[in-house]
């Protein structure tokens, strides 16, 4: 499927799912827009995308009506307020029409990045997919979700910058005696960020232009070794940040915020190596994802294939092979 056909098909599918809320159940993030684009990018025919979308949408409540953003109120006033999603949708859709994608992303992303770990990175991830879909309505909804689930982990610590390898710093992080409390990933991440010594350990990484790729590869290696659900979100969020990085005037600063959330997620994951999964060719991996009704499997395989094309190497196929063992 060509890039143009993918974008055109995604637009129609995203138009069809725009009437649903960003969450369902007790604070679970909707993956429907992201999974629809991932399926199309992996080569799913329209009929398969429609079947998946109908099945997934059955769990989603309808979106609340748009709410007007109060005049003369700074857009950051309700960061982290889940109830603000309908108002943020309206505000960002209006600003997109007036300012365009490039200007709006350049204006919003620097302020959103300190809260990129909110809702298990799903605001960041959804925004990355929306940009690739080139769909203004979905981009407004994605940015609105990021803003309404924004979760600051505290100020960045002063740099001590003694290490360039994230894996070496991760080994120095303070591990709690018991798994972090919290039903949702975001709750556990926030708990880890508050641990004594966490900020000091995070400060030891020297963040530079290569750090995001190192984090991305590291998350793929972690997932290949563990199949851990939290690590899966670290992998897909690294993909999303790579997509969004061109709109960030200070990419190193953005990656510093991402690294803070990434490190907290690693501790919160409790991931431990499992038996290695057999390395599989891309064809059966993609076929498995296309047939799966698990949105995380679909997104994981899509992200691994996209990252493989961007960065090269076999680690992405090793990570994607894991879904055939655990998915």
Residue 216: CB partners within 8 Å, gap ≥ 6?
A: 235, 238, 239, 242, 307, 311
Instruction: At 209, list the tokens.
Output: 């232009």
Residue 62 backbone dihedrals phi, psi, to 5 degrees: -70, 150
Evaluate whether 31 touches 295 at the Cβ level (below 8 Å): yes
Q: What is the mean predicted confidence (pLDDT) over 215-233?
A: 96
pLDDT confidence band for 1 (50 / 70 / 90):
very low
Angle at 217 between CA 37 and CA 303, to 5 degrees: 5
Give the span between the Cα atoms of 85 and 140, in whole angstroms: 10
* Tokens (6 digits) for 65: 């009506």
Predicted pLDDT at 275:
80
For the chain, domain boundaries: 1-63, 282-326
In angstroms, the CA 139 to CA 12 distance is: 14
pLDDT at position 123, please?
Answer: 98
- Residue 325 binned pLDDT confidence (cut-offs 50, 70, 90): confident
pTM reported for the whole predicted model: 0.95
Run of H or E including 189: helix 185-193
Contact between 231 and 223 under an 8 Å Cβ cutoff? The reply is yes
Instruction: Determine which of 166-175, 178-187, 194-203, 315-324 has the lowest per-residue pLDDT on average.
Output: 178-187
Residues 6+ apart with CB under 8 A from 214: 164, 165, 166
User: In the structure encoding, which two tokens stand for residue 36, read together?
Assistant: 């629809």
Match 């809260």 to its residue by tokens. 115
Q: What is the pLDDT of residue 176?
A: 75
Judge whether 30 and 22 are in contact, CB under 8 Å. Answer: yes
Q: How far apart are CA 38 and CA 167, in angstroms?
A: 29
Number of Cβ within a 10 Å radius of residue 148: 24
Q: What is the mean pLDDT of residues 170-174?
A: 84
DSSP assignment letter at 28: E
* Torsion sign (Cα): 53, 59, 65, 66: negative
Q: Is 227 helix (H, G, I), strand (E, B) or coil?
A: coil
Distances in whole angstroms, Cα of residue 69 to Cα of each of 93, 153, 220: 11, 26, 40
Query: If you average pLDDT over residues 301-327, what whole number do you get?
Result: 94
Q: Going along 22-63, which residue ranges are E strands?
A: 23-24, 28-29
Residue 260's pLDDT is what?
A: 96
Q: Which residues are CB-contacts of 102 (< 8 A; sequence separation ≥ 6)?
A: 247
pLDDT tier at 182, thresholds 50, 70, 90: confident
pLDDT in tens, 36-50: 999 999 999 999 999
Average pLDDT score over residue span 48-56 = 94
Asked if residue 18 lies in contact with residue 141, where contact means CB atoms within 8 angstroms, the answer is yes
Q: What confidence tens digit (pLDDT) does each residue in 233-291 have?
A: 999 999 999 999 999 999 999 999 999 999 999 999 988 888 878 999 999 999 999 99
């Amino acid at each position: 499927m060509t890039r143009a056909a993918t974008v055109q098909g995604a637009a129609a599918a995203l138009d069809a799912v725009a009437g649903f809320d960003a969450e369902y159940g007790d604070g679970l993030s909707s993956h429907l827009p992201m999974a629809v684009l991932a399926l199309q990018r992996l080569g799913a025919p329209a009929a398969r995308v429609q079947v998946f979308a109908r099945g997934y949408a059955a769990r989603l409540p309808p979106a609340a009506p748009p709410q007007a953003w109060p005049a003369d109120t700074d857009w950051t006033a309700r960061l982290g307020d889940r109830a603000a999603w309908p108002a943020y949708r309206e505000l960002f859709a209006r600003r997109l029409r007036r300012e365009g994608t490039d200007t709006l992303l350049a204006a919003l992303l620097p302020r959103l990045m300190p809260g990129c770990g909110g809702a298990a990175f799903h605001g960041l991830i959804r925004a990355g997919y929306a940009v690739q879909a080139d769909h203004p309505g979905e981009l407004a909804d994605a940015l609105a979700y990021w803003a309404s689930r924004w979760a600051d982990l505290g100020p960045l610590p002063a740099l001590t910058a003694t290490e360039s390898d994230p894996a070496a710093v991760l080994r120095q992080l303070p591990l709690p005696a018991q798994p972090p409390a919290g039903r949702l990933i975001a709750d556990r991440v926030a708990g880890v960020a508050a641990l004594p010594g966490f900020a000091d350990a995070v400060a030891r990484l020297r963040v530079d232009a290569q750090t995001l790729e190192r984090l991305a590869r590291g998350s793929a290696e972690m997932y290949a070794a563990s199949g851990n659900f939290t690590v899966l979100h670290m992998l897909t969020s690294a993909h999303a940040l790579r997509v969004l990085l061109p709109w960030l005037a200070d990419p190193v600063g953005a990656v510093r915020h991402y690294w803070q959330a990434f490190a907290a997620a690693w501790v919160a994951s409790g991931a431990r190596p499992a038996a290695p999964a057999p390395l599989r060719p891309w064809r059966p991996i993609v076929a498995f994802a296309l047939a799966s009704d698990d949105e995380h499997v679909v997104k994981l395989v899509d992200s691994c294939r996209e990252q493989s094309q961007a960065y090269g190497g076999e680690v992405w196929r090793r990570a994607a092979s894991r879904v055939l063992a655990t998915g």
